[in-house]
A = this chain, B = another copy of it.
Amino acid sequence: MTVLVFGTVAYDDVETPSGVRTRQLGGSASYFAVAASYFHDVAIVSVVGDDFEGSDLQLLSDHGIDTSGIEHAEGKTFHWAGRYAEDLNTAHTIQTDLNVLVGYEPSIGDLHARPEMIFLANGDPGLQLLTLRSLDARPRLVAGDTMNHWIAENRDQLVNTIANLDIAIINESEALMLTGERGIARAARAMLGMGIEYAVIKRGEYGVALFGVDLQFAAPAFPLIDVIDPTGAGDSFAGGFIGHLANVETYDDDELRNAVMAGSTIASLTVQDFGLGNLAYLDAKRIQERFNQFAELTRYRGHSHPDGLRLRNVSTRSPELAAASR
């Protein structure tokens, strides 16, 4: 049983304050799958062009990723060019060449029809739903992402797709845009009303928040001195998040919290080099080390000593104030 990801495999041109890279292997499915591979078996459903390098396919295979669902089509591989400004928070798209993505419809073979969990990476919400419906059975967990383009251009279809997810994993700005709400607590409440069980809201350098009907969890991002390239942070977060859940074979509240931290751990390692430059060359020791650094970053005595505050009682103040106290 595997984790299946439906998304893009791409060549990216990226410019950040740290430098420029051209034709670097990217795409949502690549980042997701390599991240998830440290936790669980993973397979990609995607398409590439006849310019796709054998060495890039090999890099994916070397991670034990099942690449048999990557269709090879005539034409060029999907290409994205973008630039990050000094603050690294926002990617400015310079060019998008859909290339082999034009007219592409995923075909789910027998090998991939019964995944344990599926991640529908950002893409046409109609194709996301089609992919989900092509499976022989509903996976134990269905998660998906989207972006501003689909919210603006294809909202009805997107809302229909979201209703079929268990977990939506989206950026804060897109959660606010999708719901028209102010603040993530309100946006998450509105998203839970769309039929999902959990909303995972990615906040870039500010971390991640997770909302369920009876669950709220939030964690900061790891404060890094050197963020080299934010590309793929969100998809590698999702890979660590889903990979961990597949690994522990459950998604109760406690493991969802841990999954957010597993994803945050992987994402923080991803952005420390261009593209897959760091992500593809991790090992268990380095991942565990960052996970432990995260625990150190976020722990405080209130976790184990919940009544740790020594507060003055209102009775030490005036009777008028005590009476007014609600």
Q: Which residues of A contact B (CB under 8 A)?
A: 17, 37-40, 59, 61-64, 86-88, 182-186, 188-189, 203, 205-207, 209, 211, 216-220, 223-225, 227, 244, 247-248, 254, 257-258, 260-262, 265, 280-284, 287-288, 291-292, 294-304, 306-314, 316-318, 320-322, 324-326
Contacts and interface: CB of A to CB of B under 8 A. Distances in A.
Given A88-B183, A207-B206, A288-B311, A300 B254 contact: yes
Contacts of A61: 318
B183 A223 contact: yes
A271 B219 CA distance: 21
Given A63-B321, A257-B300, A292-B307, 17 more contacts: A17-B182, A39-B312, A62-B317, A88-B183, A184-B205, A206-B220, A209-B220, A218-B297, A258-B300, A265-B309, A282-B314, A283-B313, A291-B302, A291-B306, A291-B309, A298-B303, A304-B304
A309 B283 contact: no
22 contacts: A17-B182, A37-B317, A183-B223, A203-B206, A207-B218, A216-B223, A248-B310, A257-B301, A258-B300, A258-B301, A258-B302, A282-B325, A284-B311, A284-B313, A284-B314, A287-B309, A288-B307, A292-B302, A295-B302, A295-B303, A299-B303, A304-B304
A326 B288 contact: no
A257 B309 contact: no
A190 to B, nearest CB: 11
Contacts of A39: 309-312
Contacts of A307: 288, 292
Closest CB pairs A-B (n = 4): A218-B220, A257-B300, A283-B314, A284-B311
A45 to B, nearest CB: 21
Contact of A87 (B17, B182, B322): B182
A175 to B, nearest CB: 12
A304 B287 CA distance: 17
A263 to B, nearest CB: 11
A78 B257 CA distance: 46
A38 B312 CA distance: 5
B302 A261 contact: yes
